[in-house]
Amino acid sequence: MIERWGGTMLMNEADFYNSDTTAEMVKILNEGFERSGAVIKAHMERQPEVVATIPFGPKILGTRKRWKDQALESRCITEVMHETEREDILPVLTYKFRERQQKLRNKLLMFRFKNYHKIDEGKIEDLWPEFREMKLDRRLIQATIGFSVLFWQDEEMFKRFKKFLKKQQKELKEERAASFDGGIVKAIYELRDIPHTTPGDIADHMEEEQNYKEVSHQKIGKHLKRLGLKTKAKKIGGKTERAIPNDKKQIQRVFKRYIPDYEIGQEELQ
């Protein structure tokens, strides 16, 4: 449908509880945020023939909570909606609302017709320094810098958009910090004075300081790999144990991603 009709896909109640459906939709949404993405599947009737579909295009998703898939969440511009307190909006919308809605749609469509050829994709190169100065995640920049090309000339709008992105960045980092991986990174940071930090050290610290229950060394090891902190065998106290290598660049990269700035010294970020 996306490939055939284009336009903006509106999906309300986009909370998928069936695991197969969730995996399918997450794949479409993850691949569909940039032009080069594609979803390749085996043809249902003519196997082993494969079918490639192009899911690229703008999408508006209404959900009750954030996505569990962090890769997908980082590709979204999230706005948390609240119940309105305006008395001029009826609890049941009438035909008058739909008429005003149609007028607004028509105005927006006319705006697109008038400005379609004014959009310069090459402006992204000029905007890149401003985005870089905000120290946003590259994924967040990737998902939003193209959108900002639409209104970069409106100084006030662009200022508001940058403020929104900083808020989005803060929320993403706080969510990561609250995750299990975030707990591991926090433990590594708090144990940073230990010469060789082992999965056992991290597990014990998380149980003692973060109130986690029965954290196994094996589980910590698996999550460390996901974080790009693959352990290596070392001689520690006369015994051979696996410990995090002293790769300062990679460790600091993980700190930046998972630890809010107010918890980390500036010297750790440089």
∠ at Cα 164 (130, 13), nearest 5°? 130
Question: Can you say whether the dihedral through the CA atoms of 79, 21, 183, 270 is positive or negative?
Answer: negative
pLDDT (mean) for 91-113: 92
Residue 60 has pLDDT above 80, yes or no: yes
Kindly list the structural domains of the chain, giving each domain's residue range(s) and its CATH number in brackets, ordered by start.
2-73 (no CATH), 95-176 (no CATH), 179-269 (1.10.10)
pLDDT-derived band of residue 270, with 50, 70 and 90 as boundaries? very low
- Using CA atoms, how far apart are residues 43 and 51, in angstroms rounded to an integer? 6
- Tell me the per-residue pLDDT of 109-153, one tens digit each, with 9 for 90 and over: 998 898 888 888 888 888 888 888 888 888 888 888 888 888 888
Give the lowest-confidence range in 24-33, 82-91, 126-135, 164-173.
Answer: 24-33
- Using CA atoms, how far apart are residues 158 and 228, in angstroms rounded to an integer? 35
* Environment class of 211 (CB within 10 Å of its CB; exposed 0-12, middle 13-18, buried 19+): exposed
Residues, the chain: 270
* Environment class of 153 (CB within 10 Å of its CB; exposed 0-12, middle 13-18, buried 19+): exposed
Helix, coil or strand: residue 53: strand
- Tell me the per-residue pLDDT of 203-244, one tens digit each, with 9 for 90 and over: 999 999 999 998 998 999 999 998 999 888 888 878 888 899
How far apart are the two ends of the chain, measured CA to CA in Å? 47
> To the nearest whole number, what is the mean pLDDT of the chain?
84
- Using CA atoms, how far apart are residues 232 and 253, in angstroms rounded to an integer? 19
Token code pair at residue 212: 């986690």
- Tell me the per-residue pLDDT of 140-199, one tens digit each, with 9 for 90 and over: 888 888 888 888 888 899 999 999 898 888 888 888 899 999 999 999 999 988 888 999
